[in-house]
Amino acid sequence: MRFLIFFGTLIIIIGLVKVYVFRGVNQALLSDKWMWIYAILSISITVIGLVTMFTSYSGGMIGLTPFRSFLIGIGVSLIICELLLSALFLIDDVVMGGEWIYALTQKTQAQDHLPESRRRFLKTLSFGLMSIPFGAYLYGITKGKYDFRVLEEELSFPDLPKAFDGFRILQFSDMLSSCFDRTDEVKRG
* Whole-structure pTM value: 0.68
Over 70: is that where the pLDDT of 110 sits?
no
The reported pLDDT for the residue numbered 52 is 85
Q: Provide mean pLDDT across the span 78-91.
A: 89
Polymer length of the chain: 189
What pLDDT digit, counting tens, does each position of 115-124 carry? 667 777 877 8
